[in-house]
């Protein structure tokens, strides 16, 4: 999971204007499914989500591709702001 978390951090830092505020937290839900929570500055939410959610959809696809390469289960990706 560390490789996926590091990959996600680099990916998101390349998108935002405030990379020093980016935080990626990983945990599991009640069913044991892994979750990555991306926390960004409120100004960067629109950039991370993108028009009609295109950017976050691409991020989710790339994160799950990376997880697949590491033989990990599908990861849920949530975005929140500070």
pLDDT (tens digit, 9 = 90+) per residue, 19-54? Answer: 888 999 999 988 888 999 999 999 999 999 989 999
Give the DSSP H or E segment for 60: helix 54-69
The closest of 71, 51, 75, 73 to 61, measured between CA atoms, is 75
Q: How far apart are CA 32 and CA 42, in angstroms?
A: 29
pTM confidence score: 0.87
Structure-block tokens of residue 74: 């599908």
What domains can be seen in the chain, in order of their start residue?
A: 2-81 (3.30.300.20)
Beta strands in 1-82 (DSSP E): 23-28, 34-40, 76-81
Structure tokens at 63: 């994160």
């Amino acid at each position: 999971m560390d490789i996926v978390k590091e990959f996600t951090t680099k990916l998101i830092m390349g998108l935002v204007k405030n990379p020093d505020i980016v935080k990626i937290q990983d945990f599991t839900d009640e069913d044991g499914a892994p979750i990555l929570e991306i926390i960004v500055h409120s100004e960067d939410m629109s950039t991370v989500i993108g028009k009609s959610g295109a950017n976050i959809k691409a991020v989710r696809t790339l994160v799950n591709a990376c997880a697949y390469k590491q033989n990990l289960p599908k990861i849920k990706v949530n975005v929140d702001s500070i």
